[in-house]
Structure 1
Amino acid sequence: MIRSKKTKILTYVVLILLSCVCLFPFIWLIRSSLMHMSQIYETPPVWIPSPFQFSNYSEALTILPFGKYFLNTSLIVVLEISGVVLTSSICAYAFARLRWPGRNMVFMIILTSMMLPGAVTLIPIFLAWSALDAVNTIIPLTVPAWFGGGAFNVFLIRQFLVAIPKDLDEAALVDGAGYFRIFTHIMFPLAKPALIVVGLFAFLNGWNDFLGPLIYLNDEAKFTLALGLQLFKGMYNAQWHLMMAATAMVVLPAVIVFFLGQKYFVEGIVMSGVKG
């Protein structure tokens, strides 16, 4: 009993230390964003700003139109999340609950697409969107999410749906419900943890995406936060207190969303691996 208690205490100590290591860059970011430029270079390092320079945030966010970048990013993220959650859940339902010829073979082909590096398809996809005159629009960044939602997301939701007893489908069919109603009224609500995980992944992917907007967006008025931050870095590379403030404002929404959804994140990952 005593040995078990000591093991538990040691485990918590190790986890706390590892958490501090992981949180150190974020703490350093916040600390630097609230300092005057001269304090950042002091040796030994100053951990608590004196005084707190909250004006760094207002100054950084007014140098470039970060409000416009925020709206652009939010629009892309909302469209991407909506498309990914809806279409990937429909595909996963078809692979997990419906029986049709070649189902397993098609599913395996979809999974093999995950092994294809994005760099291989980058140029062909760009040429295709260019031929459709969709460059410098958000179409290439949002429309693909409405066509399947991604192989990994389909796999994740499919694994979750497979673990749900088949009796629910059979009972609904006996009561006269069709496959569409079973999906919308039974499977979709039950898959809430997995859907939240997929939505969280889609949010983080859309919010932090730099390569996609860099390739397809040319007009500065259409820039996302990732592009705006890179532009800010190029213009004010030496102003580290402003750079840290702008970075903190871009990172903060993603951190908040992750902490709000971490319960469902863990639950969805665990439940998805219950049954293959």
Structure 2
Amino acid sequence: MKHKKSLIGSIIYYTFVTAFGFVMIYPILWMFAGSLKPAQEIFNNAASLIPGIFVWENYPIGWQGFGRTGFDIFFRNSLIITSLTVIGAILSSSIVAYGFARLNFKFKGLLFACLMATVMLPVQITLIPQYILFHNIGWVNTFYPLIVPAFLGGTPFFIFLLIQFIRGIPRELDEAAIIDGCSTFGVFWRIILPLLKPALVTVAIFAFMWSWDDFLAPLIYLNDINLQTVTLGLRNFMDNEGNTSWGPLLAMSSLSLLPQLVLFAFFQKYLVEGIATTGLK
């Protein structure tokens, strides 16, 4: 009887989880299905995930882009910006986090409080001052406003995440390294950084997703269509009159989602471990 109750409970649990998972993934499945449907069928038969007629032409049409600018240009631009942003976020955030977690310096508590306060600061508040600054130094319509800030000071959320992880690493490792002749930076580079691998993968995934999906910053700073990213390229499928090429739009949206799905599939173990801020085994 006990085994029977346990079996019924497991069936109910997995049925609920499967149903909930399907509800969560349904919009993505709908997008992939819509990318293979003719324009009139996308909304006339919206609930169906099986196209009545498979229209594979949506992908080559969407990939052609606009004028002489194909979607390969948009993907290239997004890849350059996102890759450098991820590198900058990892380097700057890990260095700042190490300083707050391990070093003692004047006004440490005050500076950390200011750092955490910026987490609650809306992006719109700093948007105009940043634009004026980048305009005055001639960086508008370049990749610099989207890349350079990632190398300067780190991201508060990433810094907080890394601080919590570093605090779980025994200080005895630092002391042993110092006895062996390591400098402060040597302790960070040789001891702390290798042990930060799960947290750094988490930072990389979040930085990749936020940069790849960013629409506002490229819209503000990039005017030349040959410099625009995937998000702006998708927006170009809608004209000023509200007409939309839904088939090619959904096709390119599906392709733009693939890098994130692949990244998450390969590194989800480290993502969970990094968020849980586990220490040493």
Report the counterpart of residue 7 of structure 1 in structure 2. 9
Moved more, 39-48 or 110-119: 39-48
Please state how far the C-alpha of 1:51 moved relative to its aligned partner: 4.3
Report the counterpart of residue 212 of structure 1 in structure 2. 217
Report the counterpart of residue 256 of structure 2 in structure 1. 250
1:1-276 alignment to 2 at 5 Å? 1-2=2-3, 3-43=5-45, 45-64=47-66, 65-234=70-239, 237-271=243-277
Q: Which amino acid aligns with 1:141?
A: L
User: 1:193-249: per-residue Cα shift (whole Å, max 9, x none)?
Assistant: 100111111101110000000001111111111111101233894432222112111
Please state how far the C-alpha of 1:39 moved relative to its aligned partner: 3.2
- 8 Å contact 2:96–2:153 — kept in the other structure? yes
Cα RMSD of the aligned pairs, angstroms, is: 1.9
Q: TM-score, normalised by structure 2?
A: 0.91
Q: Which amino acid aligns with 1:250?
A: S
Number of equivalent positions: 273
Q: Within 2, Cα distance between the matches of 1:44 and 1:176?
A: 66
Q: Which amino acid aligns with 1:62?
A: Q
Q: Which amino acid aligns with 2:228?
A: F
Equivalent position SS for 1:95 = helix
Q: Within 2, Cα distance between the matches of 1:80 and 1:215?
A: 17
Show structure 2 runs of 5+ residues with no match. Answer: none
Show structure 1 runs of 5+ residues with no match. Answer: none
Q: Within 1, Cα distance between the matches of 2:192 and 2:7?
A: 42
Please state how far the C-alpha of 1:12 moved relative to its aligned partner: 2.2
Identify if the C-alpha distance between structure 1 residues 99 and 246 changes in structure 2 by more than 3 Å, giving closer, same or farther. Answer: same
Q: TM-score, normalised by structure 1?
A: 0.92
Q: Within 2, Cα distance between the matches of 1:271 and 1:240?
A: 42
Please state how far the C-alpha of 1:50 moved relative to its aligned partner: 4.3
Moved more, 35-44 or 164-173: 35-44
Moved more, 81-90 or 230-239: 230-239
- 8 Å contact 2:100–2:112 — kept in the other structure? yes
